[in-house]
Amino acid sequence: MHYIDLRSDTVTRPSPAMREAMAKAEVGDDVWGDDPTVNLLQERVAKMFRKEAALFVPSGTMANIVSILAHTQRGDEVIVEKESHTFNYECAGAATLAGVQFYLVIGTNGILTPDQVRSATRPVEDVHVPKTKLLCLENTHNRGGGKIYPIELLAQIYDYTKSHSIKSHLDGARLFNACVATGYEPWQYAQYFDSLMFCFSKGLGAPVGSIVIGSKDFIHQAHGYRKMLGGGMRQVGILAAAALYALENNIERLQEDHQHAQLIAQGVSQIKKFQIDLENVETNIVIFDVAKSGLNAYQVVELLGKKGVLMVPFGEFLVRAVTHLDVNQEQIQLAVKIMREIFA
């Protein structure tokens, strides 16, 4: 069967042109700082985000953990949103590797307000409580349904954290989805964070790789932690070439993925057994509730899978579909038609 794979935007395969760029990449030993393609990527990204330096890493998970390690000491506290990727899907790395404690705050579709950040901050004068050292936010927010952080909120939150000596880090795995949807440049988001990361291996279509961005000092420390975690890679220009290709060719087209997500969301809204908040679909992620169908998310996903449409359960009654560059409009329309046939 030819599947329409909407499980994640990580399922994309490198295109022939991307593979050609990879094959032609100039390489060197990056652990010695010798790989010209990696160096070019890091310099280009730092410039694009108007920060001093950047560091190519194997995954989004490693990008987040080296950032947390670089910003904190054991026993510090980190404010994170309860549905964040860092809290839910990174194997408690912050607890086990950095020895920090998360202070969880429940956001609205993953979005925190400045007041929530303020009330999650520990009083500095109290010796009994941990030190609030870092705030981690996520934009777009995966479990929030691809929600975009309103930039005004980020500005207010940053004003607050800066004046309270709290560092701020952005999990921007899908930051370019936010940029394309809002028209903001990456640096406009980056100005409100001490560090951030984004992934090449999601909507941008590269097979591997993420990048951490920040000050020279911060990147120097993150670099050491990358090595400690076994993330020093050698002739990795082959992968950096895919990342450079993605930056040059696959950003603007994210708009198509957003249009496709709208088509899915519209289709879902017409199925009475499903519920969706259409206003919440802002980028390439669609989350809908299947409780009224009398089935749970696992059963719905199984039925869809048998007809060739792949999605993932995202809670007992929540299903997630993600659009990406390997699914075209015709396939999206077919997926909607199949959903209607099964559930209408």
Ligand X SMILES: Cc1ncc(COP(=O)(O)O)c(C=O)c1O
Chain contacts with ligand X (rule: CB under 6 A)? 59-61, 85, 138, 142, 171, 173, 199, 201, 210
Q: Which is nearer to ligand X, 146 or 267 (CB)?
A: 146
Q: Provide the token pair at 142.
A: 């995966």
Given a contact cutoff of 8 angstroms between Cβ atoms, the answer to whether 293 and 326 are in contact is no
Residues 6+ away with beta carbon under 8 Å from 265: 276, 278, 281, 286, 288
Residue 199: CB minimum distance to ligand X, A = 5
**Closest residue to ligand X in the complex (CB):** 60
* Shortest distance (Å) from residue 138 CB to ligand X: 5
Across the beta sheet with 318-322, the strand order is 285-289, 318-322, 312-313
For ligand X, which is the closer residue by CB, 30 or 81? 81
User: Using CA atoms, how far apart are residues 280 and 161, in angstroms rounded to an integer?
Assistant: 27
Task: State in angstroms the smallest separation of the CB of 60 from ligand X.
Answer: 2
Q: Provide the minimum distance between the beta carbon of 81 and ligand X in the complex, in angstroms, as a whole number.
A: 11
| Closer residue to ligand X, CB minimum distance, 134 or 199 | 199
Q: Which amino acid does the sequence have at 148?
A: I
> By C-beta, is 142 or 293 nearer to ligand X?
142
Residues 6 or more apart whose CB falls under 8 angstroms from that of 324 comprise: 8, 9, 11, 12, 202, 203, 205, 257, 284
CB of 115 to ligand X, least distance (A): 24
The helix or strand, by DSSP H or E, that contains position 132, with its residue range, turns out to be: strand 132-138
68 or 338: CB nearest ligand X: 68
